[in-house]
Amino acid sequence: MKTVAIIMGSTSDLPVMQGAIDILKSFEIPVEVDIVSAHRTPEKLMEYGKSAVNRNIGVIIAGAGGAAHLPGMIASVTALPVIGVPVKSSNSIDGWDSVLSILQMPSGVPVATVALDGAKNAGILAAQILGATQADIRKKVEDYKEQLKQKVIEGAKSLK
């Protein structure tokens, strides 16, 4: 089974990124977590991205706040799918700088982008990407979505 790499620019991003870690673990998908700063450890970033496929990584989730260069930079050095999580950080402009930095990638360097602080959705999207070719993961995602549906139905019943 492929592993999902979850990287972030600093430990301050971990509370947000924990959502991706938790949902992937609930799907029993192996997770590799690391701190990789685009600005403070650029050599590590390059090596991490270039070697990811050799470490059995299937998808990379990259969370970043502020200028949020990490997702795009990691996408520039790997052919693996990258999901960007904009993080509303203490140095951000209400999170908009992070959202726009990750959304506005140049042609040829795509990064799938989830909502501000949307790490849980990034984890689900990573599971769906892996599930496209792995039936056991696809089944877990289908079951999860069925549980969401049942929650809504039960909630609606409580209104009547």
pLDDT tens string 103-146: 999 999 999 999 999 999 999 999 999 999 999 999 999 999 99
- Cα 16 versus chain centre, distance: 11
Q: How far apart are CA 130 and CA 134, in angstroms?
A: 6
pLDDT recorded at residue 38: 95
pLDDT recorded at residue 48: 98
For residue 158, pLDDT over 90 is answered with no
pLDDT recorded at residue 160: 81
Q: Are 3 and 31 in contact (CB under 8 A)?
A: yes
Q: How far apart are CA 19 and CA 136, in angstroms?
A: 21
Q: Are strands 57-65 and 3-8 parallel, antiparallel or unpaired?
A: parallel
pLDDT tens string 56-107: 999 999 999 988 999 999 999 999 999 999 999 888 888 999 999 999 999 9
pLDDT recorded at residue 144: 98
pLDDT tens string 46-55: 999 999 999 9
pLDDT tens string 5-33: 999 999 999 999 999 999 999 999 999 99
pLDDT class of 157 with cuts at 50, 70, 90: confident
